[in-house]
């Protein structure tokens, strides 16, 4: 999924989307699309896999996967893409950014979360998925905080005549310290 984000965004100018929050948004969108296609595939297998049409099973599966989607592929891909944008900043994407240690650490964490998600043990009332989702969202909230600090620091630098900002950010009011 991170490669999909990379390929899609490769053609955009570097300065246009320099923020960690941009990367997280692009990652979440790709993750949501992936989750939708994967859910459709599982529903199709549920529907016709046994040789009989199991409409109720397919519908139940779609609703369950829809309820769990914000705790899985959406948040995992947002984390990975946010890590890539943390490295990218205002430069054009390059393949070397994918193997930066800061990206690989988050990617390894995301892969571990996904592996635990898929591992065969279960806990009552979907507790495993909720616990993994809460952990992923805590990581996302930390990355959002980093993204907001990135914007605030750039605004402060621009206010004293430092670096230039993309116009949309430059127009945002400064928050007093």
Over residues 32-78, the pLDDT tens digits come to: 999 999 999 988 888 887 777 888 888 999 999 998 889 999 999 99
Model pLDDT, residue 110? 96
Give Cβ neighbours of residue 23 (< 8 Å, ≥ 6 apart): 5, 17, 81, 82, 83, 84, 85, 86, 88
Looking at per-residue pLDDT, the higher value among 109 and 163 belongs to 109
Name the residue among 110, 116, 124, 48 with its Cα closest to residue 78. 110
Average pLDDT, the chain: 86
* Non-local CB neighbours of 155 within 8 Å, separated by 6+ positions: 165, 169, 170, 172, 174
| Cβ atoms within 10 Å, residue 177 | 5
pLDDT classification of 126: cutoffs 50, 70, 90: confident
Would you say how long the chain is, in residues?
177
pLDDT at 164 over 70: no
Helix (H) or strand (E) holding 8: helix 2-9
- Cα(27)–Cα(66) distance, integer angstroms: 18
Mean local confidence (pLDDT), 157-173: 59
Residue 160, judged by CB atoms within 10 A of its CB (0-12, 13-18, 19+), counts as exposed
Per residue in 17-26, pLDDT (tens digit) is 889 999 999 9
């Amino acid at each position: 999924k991170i490669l999909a984000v990379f390929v899609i965004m490769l053609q955009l100018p570097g300065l246009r989307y320099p923020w960690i929050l941009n990367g997280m948004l692009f990652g979440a969108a790709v993750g949501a699309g992936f989750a939708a296609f994967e859910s459709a595939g599982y529903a199709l297998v549920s529907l016709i896999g046994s040789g009989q049409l199991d409409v109720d099973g397919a519908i139940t599966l779609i609703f369950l996967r829809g309820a769990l989607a914000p705790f899985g592929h959406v948040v995992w891909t947002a984390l990975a893409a946010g890590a890539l944008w943390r490295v990218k900043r205002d430069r054009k994407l390059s393949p070397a950014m994918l193997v930066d240690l800061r990206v690989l650490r988050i990617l390894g964490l995301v892969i571990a979360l996904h592996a635990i998600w898929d591992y065969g043990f279960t806990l009552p009332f979907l507790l495993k998925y909720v616990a993994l989702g809460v952990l992923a969202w805590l990581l996302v909230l930390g990355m959002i905080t980093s993204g907001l600090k990135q914007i605030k620091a750039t605004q402060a630098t621009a206010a004293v005549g430092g670096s230039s900002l993309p116009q949309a950010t430059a127009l945002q009011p400064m928050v007093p310290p």
